[in-house]
Structure 1
Amino acid sequence: MASDPKPTVDFDETFGKLDIRLGKVLSAELEPSAPKKSYRLKIDFGKYGVRSSVGRFTQHTPEELIGKQVMGVLNFEPRQIGDVRSDVLVIGIQFKGAESGEATPVTPMLEGKLGSKLF
């Protein structure tokens, strides 16, 4: 029998508190002030506005990211990364074969309405 990787938690007290929404990447450029190679992304979340995120998605070219729909956590405290305030945590997974922290963003199989909630 397989064991849970982490202890079981209550949905309403954990996942239910996160506001994870669908956005579309408008721009992606290297952020030179970040401590590790990262992109500064501008992401349109529909009625939730355009927000900034700094993330380590640099195994992709900016052209690969621009226009992609991604999932982002909108209700985390903003983080200062280098000289930039990162308003959104874009959800990603480890990029295969890359160093720890290098990611590829989680994207939907079909396009959805910007601002749609992940559930």
Structure 2
Amino acid sequence: MATDLKPTVSPDDTLALLDLRLGRVVAAVPEPSAPKAAYRLTLDFGRYGTRTSMGRFTGHTAEQLVGTQVIGVLNFAPRTVGDVSSEVLILGVQFPGLASGEATPLTPMTAAKLGSKVF
């Protein structure tokens, strides 16, 4: 079901506030403490270090996720999901045919340097 577009905003007041960076999934394990099926992801953001994220990317196997480059928001406050502190939000879109909230991660068409700024 389509929703209306949100109001127009200024990039300086919105996008410029987010620290969007390119990372790579180095580990993906199912997280039993999450309220819904999810993976605990370990991500490498190059010079910005290794971070943990909880993600509902369960339409993919762990093997499919490992090695994938993804887009993350590095400057959100950590959020507790189950027993895990999720330090970064990985961007994704609805996985076709799966329940609301199940996602597939946004990925670049060409591999790029880890930690690269997304704009």
TM superposition score normalised by structure 1: 0.96
Q: CA deviation at 1:54?
A: 0.2
Gaps of at least 5 residues in structure 2 are none
> Which runs of at least 4 in structure 1 moved beyond 4 Å after TM superposition?
none
Percentage of pairs with the same residue: 63
Q: CA deviation at 1:10?
A: 1.1
TM superposition score normalised by structure 2: 0.96
In the other structure, the counterpart of 1:93 is 93
Q: Distance in 2 between matches of 1:6 and 1:79?
A: 25
In the other structure, the counterpart of 1:48 is 48
Q: Spell out, residue by residue over 1:47-93, the C-alpha distance to the aligned partner (whole angstroms, 9 max, x if none).
A: 00000000100110000000000000000010000000000000000
In the other structure, the counterpart of 1:27 is 27
Q: Distance in 1 between matches of 2:71 and 2:19?
A: 10
Q: Does 1:60 align with 2:43?
A: no
Gaps of at least 5 residues in structure 1 are none
In the other structure, the counterpart of 1:18 is 18
In the other structure, the counterpart of 1:105 is 105
Q: Distance in 2 between matches of 1:83 and 1:77?
A: 16
Q: Distance in 2 between matches of 1:55 and 1:43?
A: 12
Q: Distance in 2 between matches of 1:6 and 1:53?
A: 27
State the one-letter code of the partner of 1:66. V
> Number of paired residues?
116
